[in-house]
Amino acid sequence: MSRAEIRASLSLAGIYMLRMLGLFMILPVFSIYARTLEGSTPLLTGLAISAYGLTQAIIGIPFGIWSDRYGRKKLITIGLIIFALGSVVAALSESIYGVIAGRALQGSGAVAAVVMALAADLTREEHRTKAMALIGVSIGISFAISMVAGPVLDSLIGVPGMFWLIALLALAGIAVLYLLVPNPIVSRFHRDTQAQPARFRSVLANGDLLRLDFGIFALHAILTATFVVIPLVLRDTLQLETAKHWQIYLPVFVLSMFAMVPFVIIAEKNRKMKAVFITFIGLVAIADAGLMLSGDSLLTVAALLFVFFTGFNLLEATLPSMISKTAPADLKGTAMGIYSTSQFLGAFVGGISGGFIQGEFGIPAVFLFCALVALLWLLVALGMKPPRHLSSLLINLGELSTDQAHEFSRKLLLVPGVEEAVVLSEDGVAYLKTDKTLLDKEALQRVLQS
């Protein structure tokens, strides 16, 4: 990658990270704070935690489409301002309804797809996967920081103060956008990062992609429902002060990150993706079932959270990779758009389900619900085909006629290791799926130079 591409990728990852911090930071503390709000009930608490998911799911794809017409930076700015306004509304609210409105407004600043599109504008095809990986890593980092920073900041400035801080982070994102992110020379549609609404039917007809979409829906429903009640378990059942919750989250999260690495290697290098994937869905189910029965032992709860986060982190990391391997070469952006929508809908459903079940049946029933969702996901995942161990490769070919594009596609499919090849004259790009262990790079180069 060039220095400009590295700068663009890191700065856009920073913007993404600042926004995700704002969504995640209240997760480990809000259920406790919500009890002080006028009109609060468990159901409304769950809705306040997850309201952003519904608005993000509705507006996310349209934001990306609008950015093609009105400009990337303009849409990102508008989105971050909306996000900041939502944070201010939540900060000033003394009722649960005001916080719900603020969180819904936060989700309306749905800039994720636009950030991805701008990253595609600013990177060459052969380096785009690296840029997207950096942005993906920023999401994991923001979640880890949020789990630790949330309880600490709550003890220092309270949840309203956190919402003010979140608003400032959104404004900092705008500063990063204009001070550090280069302006693209050309801004155009990218099939590998942006959704094509006209092709939704093709993606939704793919059973394996639907299984993966259900997977991310279930994973974020489980996560959000679990964190509707986990802060209450730590404080009320285990008598651990909110300010000290980070002492549980920090070691649990760090150890879980190290614990998952060998299994990621086994899944990728030894081509055991489906076996590892299904095993870790089972681990999430076991963790939530254990939390239902854990009683009042802090050590037991910490151990089960370690199991939960190990499963969650591995599944969160491997699901996008599986989408990329499964989606047709020229529909990756469309598949990822539907996948992201499913993720945010899962967070929304998890929040309201967790709150409702807690209010009606108690905290153990929430963990039972999460375990049952994981078991349902396990049954759904058993029917999927083992994902092909293929890598996406984009090659810029320049201007082509339709006949030249067809000829390139035919020649590329003859190269050993090239499993899929779609060359579109209007894009001037070859979208390939390759098996790296079999790819004949010299033969590929000869075709490209012909």
Q: Is residue 247 part of a domain?
A: yes
Q: CATH code at 125? A: 1.20.1250.20
400: containing domain? 391-449
Q: Mind listing the pLDDT tens digit of every residue in the chain (450 residues)?
A: 778 788 888 888 888 888 888 888 999 999 999 999 999 999 999 999 999 999 999 998 888 888 888 888 999 999 999 999 999 999 999 999 999 999 999 999 888 888 888 888 888 766 777 777 788 788 888 888 888 899 999 999 999 999 999 999 999 999 999 998 888 876 676 676 777 788 888 888 888 999 999 999 999 999 999 999 999 999 988 989 988 999 999 999 889 988 988 888 887 777 788 888 999 999 999 999 999 987 678 899 999 999 999 999 899 888 888 888 888 877 888 888 899 999 999 999 999 999 999 999 999 999 999 999 999 999 999 988 887 777 777 777 777 788 888 888 888 888 888 888 888 777 777 888 888 888 888 888 888 777
Q: Is residue 194 part of a domain?
A: no
Question: Are 145 and 219 part of one and the same domain?
Answer: no
Of the candidates 76, 74, 105, the one whose C-alpha atom is nearest the C-alpha of residue 88 is 105
Question: Are 375 and 429 part of one and the same domain?
Answer: no
How confident is the model at residue 425, as a pLDDT?
77
The one-letter code for the residue type at 205 is A
| Token pair 């979208």 in the structure block, residue | 431
Q: Is residue 198 part of a domain?
A: no
Burial of 101 (0-12, 13-18, 19+ CB in 10 A): middle
Q: Is residue 107 part of a domain?
A: yes
Task: Select from 185, 212, 230 the last residue of a domain.
Answer: 185
What is the DSSP annotation of 100-125? HHHHHHHHH---HHHHHHHHHHTS-G
Strands (E), 344-403: 391-396
Residues 15 and 76: beta-carbon distance below 8 Å = yes
Q: Is residue 192 part of a domain?
A: no
Cα 142 from Cα 18, distance rounded (Å): 8
Question: Are 294 and 256 part of one and the same domain?
Answer: yes
Question: Are 222 and 370 part of one and the same domain?
Answer: yes
How confident is the model at residue 420, as a pLDDT?
83
Question: Are 354 and 270 part of one and the same domain?
Answer: yes
- The CA-to-CA distance between both ends of the chain, in Å, stands at 26
Q: Would you tell me how many other CB atoms lie within 10 Å of the CB of residue 401?
A: 9
| Counted domains in the chain | 3
Strands (E), 297-428: 391-396, 418-424
Cα 235 from Cα 359, distance rounded (Å): 18
How confident is the model at residue 401, as a pLDDT?
81
Task: Select from 373, 389, 405 the last residue of a domain.
Answer: 389
Q: Is residue 193 part of a domain?
A: no
Q: Is residue 273 part of a domain?
A: yes
Question: Are 251 and 324 part of one and the same domain?
Answer: yes
Residues 219 and 346: beta-carbon distance below 8 Å = yes
How confident is the model at residue 126, as a pLDDT?
67
How confident is the model at residue 217, as a pLDDT?
96
Give the SS3 label for residue 14: helix
Token digits of residue 237 = 């059942």
How confident is the model at residue 93, as a pLDDT?
94
Question: Are 131 and 155 part of one and the same domain?
Answer: yes
Question: Are 19 and 95 part of one and the same domain?
Answer: yes
User: Under 8 Å CB-to-CB from 111, ≥6 apart: which residues?
Assistant: 15, 19, 63, 75, 76, 79, 80, 83
Q: Is residue 197 part of a domain?
A: no
Q: Would you tell me how many other CB atoms lie within 10 Å of the CB of residue 50?
A: 32
Question: Are 116 and 17 part of one and the same domain?
Answer: yes
Distance of CA 136 to the CA centre of its chain: 7
Q: Which residues pair with 38 in a beta bridge?
A: 95
